[in-house]
Amino acid sequence: MTSTELIVTGGGTKRRFRRSRRRVSPALYLFPLPALALYLTFFILPMLQTFQYATTNWDGYSADFDYVGLDNFVRAVTNDSLFGNALANNLKFMVVVLVGQTVLSLILSVFLVKNTKTNVFLRALYFFPTILSSVSVGFIWKFVYDPNFGVINSTLDAVGLGAWKSSFLGDETQAIFWLAVVQIWFHAGMMITIFVAGLQAIPAELYEAAEVDGAGPWRRFWSVTWPLIGPAMAIVVGYTTIQSFKAFDVVLSISGNPPPSSLDILSTRIYSSFANSEFGYAATESVLFIIFILIITFTIRRLLRLIQKGES
């Protein structure tokens, strides 16, 4: 341990302050090594191997395989209708979930921001679906959407609105949007919690000052809440975007394996390629999957930041 003496002169008197600085033992740097070794072994190395296998035609079992360069990438981008369909479905799914879940959770959080007993109860109620397993959620909504004895169609029949009945997941043009409803119901409670935390961090004095200036509720939202909710909004947008691409378990539990083309998204398409022993091609799809998530997440967050700056 080393120490440094500081002499401060003030008012004709001298005061001595002793500041100590401890030397960090080199042994302390050894403690992260086990965790780092595990991370390298089970995360970093497999990720690097994914990029390697993406340039091969490996079937997952054979000891020999050939390097095909970028042929897998060319095939996925230009000559694979199944991959293109999954990408289109995933983009539709992501847009509906991102807009619907963000708007819904933000509106509800504005009304539930105060810590009253009723609001706390409602927050817990909305949060409840997030603690369920994805498989449970899938089976619940599979029953709700059943066209013959499902809750929705049975209720419509009971109230005399049988003409409004739908086949839901059986309708190829609408199935992906009904799946988005399930995802919103599943994760909206978590987003409400994040937004409530962000709203409660905004100083109440700002709302009081805006109210004194004659700003109404709508103006207070755009002038105070919207600019300052940015950090929470960034978390919600990032989380929602990633979850929209990771809805693998919900899709399989609600539609079965393999899913129909109307519900096939990128994660289920990659799984199908692995199941068909196309490990090299599945690795290629996984790399493209990661690239798409990075590009879309960065773009959306950038646009959101520009919108907030323009409104502020």
Query: 190-214: per-residue pLDDT in tens?
Result: 999 999 999 999 888 888 888 888 8
* Range scoring the smallest mean pLDDT among 1-5, 46-50, 152-156: 1-5
pLDDT, mean of residues 156-162: 85
The residue among 91, 130, 127 whose CA lies nearest residue 112 is: 127
Residue 184 above 70 pLDDT?
A: yes
> By CB neighbour count within 10 A (0-12 exposed, 13-18 middle, 19+ buried), where does 148 fall?
exposed
pLDDT one-digit tens code per residue, 104-124: 999 999 999 988 999 999 999
Which pLDDT value is given to residue 170? 86
| Cis peptide bond upstream of 147, omega within 30 | no
Domain ranges (residues) in the chain: 80-311
Query: 285: left (phi > 0), else alpha (psi -120 to 50), else beta?
Result: alpha
Share of the chain above pLDDT 70, in %: 91
End-to-end CA distance of the chain: 51
For residue 171, CA distances in Å to 9, 140, 179, 252, 310 come to 83, 19, 11, 17, 41
pLDDT one-digit tens code per residue, 162-171: 788 888 888 8
pLDDT one-digit tens code per residue, 219-272: 888 888 888 888 898 889 888 988 898 889 999 999 888 889 999 999 999 999
Residue 207, number of CB atoms within 10 A of its CB? 17
The residue among 203, 205, 207, 232 whose CA lies nearest residue 217 is: 207
Answer yes or no: CATH 3.40.50.720 is held by domain 80-311: no
Q: What is the dihedral of CA 210, 213, 215, 220, to 10 degrees?
A: -10
Spatial neighbors of 161 by CB under 8 A, at least 6 apart, are: none
Which pLDDT value is given to residue 256? 82
CB-based contact 250:64 (threshold 8 Å): no
Greater pLDDT, 60 or 54 = 54
